Each structure stands twice: as C-alpha cells, then as structure tokens.
C-alpha cells in the first residue's frame, strides 16, 4: 500500500494507519516507506504520534534509505474504514458482494439486506487466519574499539539464525573517537524468539562486541 499525503485529513488517516504497524508495507522498511516519506510536505508533529514515530525512524536512515528493498510507488490514498478491503479474506472468491453500506432507505427490506450483508461479512472475517504476533527491533551493537572490523562484526551477527528471526537493513553510526556502532534491524516472532536470548547470542562474539542495546522495539 502506498499513500499520498496532501491534506490534513490525509495526515490523520496516515497516522491512524500506522497506529498498529511499523512500516507502510510488510515487516521492514521498503521503498514504499520512502515514497510516503518523500511525499510529506513537512515533518509530523506530536498531534500525530504514530506518524511522528514512523517519520523519525525512517529519517534516521539518511542516505541508507536508497538501499531499502522494493520499488518506489506513486503515492495514492488507499485508506479504508472498518469494512476495508484489507480485512477481506482471500478465499479465491469475489468479495464485491459484501457491501456494508447498502441502501439508505428506511424500510424493512433495506434493513434485512443490510443485516444479511453484515452477517456475510462477519462470517468471512471470522475465517481470517489468526495473526502471528511479531515485533520490529532495532539494535545497537557496539565494538570494542576503532580497530574492530565492523564488516566482519556485522557478518558475525547475521550468522545468528533461528526460526522466527529475519535480519533487515543496517548502518554504521558514529559514536566518537573514530568509533562506529552497528545499528541493525530485525523482525522476530514473539513466541519463537526471545529478545534477551538474541542479545546474548550476539554478545557471544566477544572479540568483536562490547555491548548490545535496544534502540527501538515496536509490535507489528
């Protein structure tokens, strides 16, 4: 989903859209995020906290945004209400017959039609597969000194594999005295991956890693 942001209503809609997700599409930053980011006329304010959180996160990558996967899309408004197409179940059928709005006529026939449509929609929605709880995590991995091979350190970190863990984009962030820290994104399935365990696994590379800190932790 790519969106264009032109009016105050668009801003509010985008804020609501990002309330329960970390990115515009999927579970990691993509060019869809860049498209929406660049379409904003100005920085969000505290009046739209979810949009502000997302904006600051995407902004923190700087030129690294060019390396996000995917393709840029022309921003188009695609926000929906509680009966949105995003809530439809993909069962191979045509959902166009589930129209929650129906007729505005105040007669018994119109009321019956609306009730039947609501019932049909509820049945379809009840068949929707259960969501898997996931979290988007950004970690700071600090080396011992300026002589630490940061590329090799990142390679070591990415060798950590487990069911429910996906590594994302990364970048080097200066911390002073010629030392950089590795900031790396990951998406984990909450029931399968313990964040504490993941940090312990990274710290096992003791010849490279001095410490690991959580920069951002968002439920998806």
Burial of 94 (0-12, 13-18, 19+ CB in 10 A): exposed
Q: What is the model's pLDDT at position 5?
A: 63
Contact 68, 34 (CB under 8 A): yes
- Residue 128's pLDDT is 62
Look at the chain and report how many structural domains it folds into: 3
DSSP code string of 90-135: -SSS-GGG--SS-----SHHHHHHHHHHHHHHHHHHHTSPPPPPEE
Is 78 a domain residue?
no
- pLDDT the model gives residue 185: 95
Which of 126, 149, 173 is the endpoint of a domain?
Answer: 126
Phi, psi values for residue 150, rounded to 5°: -70, -35
Same-domain pairing of 153 and 189: yes
Structural domain harbouring 32: 8-67
Same domain as 145, residue 112: no
Report yes or no: 21 and 94 within 8 Å, Cβ to Cβ.
no
- C-alpha atoms less than 13 angstroms from C-alpha of 25 in its C-beta half-sphere: 19
Domain match, 177 and 111 both: no
Q: Are residues 176 and 121 in the same domain?
A: no
Beta bridge partner(s), residue 153: none
Residue 79 maps to a domain: no
Whole-Å CA distances, 160 to 75, 136, 164: 36, 17, 12
What is the pTM for the complete model shown?
Answer: 0.45
Instruction: Decide if 45 is inside a domain.
Output: yes
Please report, in tens digits, the pLDDT of each residue of the chain (220 residues total). Answer: 444 566 788 788 888 888 888 888 878 888 888 888 888 878 889 889 988 998 999 899 988 888 888 887 665 443 343 334 444 444 444 444 444 444 455 567 777 787 787 777 777 766 666 677 899 999 999 999 999 999 999 999 999 999 999 999 999 999 888 899 999 999 999 999 999 999 999 999 999 999 999 999 998 7
Closest to 189 measured CA to CA, from 130, 134, 139? 134
Is the separation of the CB atoms in 35 and 73 below 8 Å?
yes
- 151, 208: one domain: yes
Q: Which residue in 75, 72, 70 sits closest to 13, CA to CA?
A: 75
Q: Do 152 and 207 share a domain, yes or no?
A: yes
């Amino acid at each position: 989903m790519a969106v264009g942001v032109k009016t105050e209503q668009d801003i509010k809609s985008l804020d609501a859209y990002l309330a329960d997700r970390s990115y515009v599409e999927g579970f990691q930053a993509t060019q869809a995020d860049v498209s929406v980011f660049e379409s904003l006329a100005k920085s969000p304010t505290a009046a739209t906290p979810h949009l502000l959180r997302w904006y600051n996160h995407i902004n923190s990558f700087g030129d690294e945004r060019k390396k996000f996967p995917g393709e840029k899309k022309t921003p188009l408004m695609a926000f929906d209400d509680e009966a949105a197409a995003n809530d439809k179940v993909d069962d191979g059928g045509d959902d166009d017959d589930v129209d929650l709005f129906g007729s505005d006529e105040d007669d018994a026939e119109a009321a019956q039609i609306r009730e039947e449509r609501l019932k049909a929609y509820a049945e379809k929605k009840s068949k929707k597969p259960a969501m898997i709880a996931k979290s988007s995590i950004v970690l700071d991995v600090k080396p011992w000194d300026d002589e630490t091979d940061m590329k090799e350190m990142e390679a070591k970190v990415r060798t950590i594999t487990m069911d429910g863990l996906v590594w994302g984009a990364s970048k080097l962030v200066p911390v002073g005295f010629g030392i950089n820290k590795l900031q790396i994104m990951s998406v984990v399935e909450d029931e399968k991956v313990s964040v504490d365990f993941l940090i312990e696994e990274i710290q096992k590379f003791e010849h490279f890693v001095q410490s690991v800190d959580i920069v951002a932790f968002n439920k998806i």
